[in-house]
Structure 1
Amino acid sequence: MKNNLLFDFIVDKTTKTVFVNREFAAERSLVWDAFTKQELLDQWWAPKPWRSKTKYMDFKVGGKRFYAMVSPEGEEHWSLQQYTVIIPQTNFQMLNTFADKEENPELPGSDWNLDFSEIDGKTTVKISIKNDSLERMEKMIEMGFKEGFTMTLNYLDELLPQMKTQ
């Protein structure tokens, strides 16, 4: 059944934007929580065998999430997300930048827009990631973003049934 869920990954160099559309066999409220609650994000927001470690998260307009993706060897890659728009259960937007462990951002960053919709118990998340520069987008793609983000979203898909029972 899961094989027929929507998954698109489109890179548009002319607009410096990556579009990801992913469908999940779960209610919108659960998928929303998985994207917006620290304790759930840290369960899946990294491609295996990496893990996500949030130092702090304040999910509100103007709030931030400061986290690292941690390798099995303990190598940390830090990122900073600043929330700019939140429409509960429907949409949130954020500025995402790489950072050092002292929270100093590496600019330029990218603007993320995440839209959540549900039809017949399936939730679609439409993500657009607009980069400040073509160079940043190309660096992100070269670092394996498509493969890593695909793995990460698949990991969420595996975890959602367990999250329902928690």
Structure 2
Amino acid sequence: METKNQSTKTPEPNKQKLLIIREFDASRELVWKAWTDPESFMKWWGPKNFTCPVCEIDFKVGGKYLNCMRSSDGQEFWGAGTYIEIVPMERIVYTDSFADEKGNVVSGTHYGMEGFPLELLVTVSFEEHDNKTRMTLTHVGIPSGKITDLTNISWNESFDKLAESLK
């Protein structure tokens, strides 16, 4: 499966806005399902060498999600958030926070990551053309510096796994 990758970073005061555009050789319905169906989500969530053993999605405005990324050495990173906007097959906007296994928001320092705000904002949009889907992700609030590059790498490794899961 071929994907196109384009990433840019726009500096903001003390935080970054990460923009990633990918094209997937799959219908918009399949890519949408990968974001909204827990079983589909678990197949691709997390960078390479990570698994997603837990994913709970209450997919509605005001609904919450909770997921876990597990590294190859067994370290777990939990994330949680709330869906703010849902435009079916077009856009998902949600908050993104580090969490514990019960979904309680925790500081990034809980996982050894300094400088993260308690809540970030993610927007994912989906456009279909020629039986392919162009997905645009914007992640706002990431601390400036090396962590922005690491976040970009992590998202793109996840999207590489997403492309494989859509085959």
Under a length normalisation based on structure 1, what TM-score does the superposition of the two structures give?
0.85
Q: What is the alpha-carbon root mean square deviation over aligned residues?
A: 1.9
- In structure 2, the residue matched to 1:151 is 157
Question: 1:56 deviation in Å?
Answer: 2.3
Aligned partner of 2:9 in structure 1 is: 11
Matched-pair identity in %: 28
CA distance in 2, matches of 1:34, 1:113: 15
Counterpart in 2 of 1:85? 85
Which residue does 2:113 correspond to in 1?
none
Runs of 4+ deviating beyond 4 Å: none
Alpha-carbon distance between aligned partners in 1 of 2:9 and 2:48, rounded to the nearest angstrom:
23
Preserved CA contact (<8 Å) 1:54 1:65: no
Please state if 1:114 is matched with 2:124: yes
Gaps of 5+ in 2: 108-116
Q: Decide whether aligned partners of structure 1 residues 85 and 137 sit closer, same or farther in structure 2, where only a CA change above 3 A counts.
A: farther
Deviation digits for residues 129-150 of structure 1, max 9, x if unmatched? 111xx6x3547426x2122211
Residue correspondence of structure 1 range 1-166 to structure 2 within 5 A? 2=2, 5-14=3-12, 16-105=16-105, 106=107, 107-131=117-141, 136-138=143-145, 140-141=147-148, 144-161=150-167
Which residue of the partner structure matches residue 164 of structure 1? none
SS in 1 for 2:102: coil
CA contact 2:6–2:20 (8 Å) conserved in 1: yes
Structure 1 residue aligned with 2:114: none
Query: How many residues are matched?
Result: 155
CA drift of 1:93 comes to 0.4
Which amino acid in structure 2 is aligned with residue 104 of structure 1?
N
| Structure 1 unaligned blocks of 5 or more | 162-166
Mapped to 2, the partners of 1:101 and 1:24 lie a distance apart of 31
Greater RCO (CA < 8 Å, at least 6 residues apart): 2
Comparing both structures, which one devotes a greater share of its residues to helix? Answer: 1
User: What CA deviation, in whole Å up to 9, does each residue of 1:56-113 have, x standing for no partner?
Assistant: 2211111111111011222111110210111111111000011123322134221111
1:55: Cα distance to partner?
4.8
Normalising by structure 2, we get a TM-score of 0.84
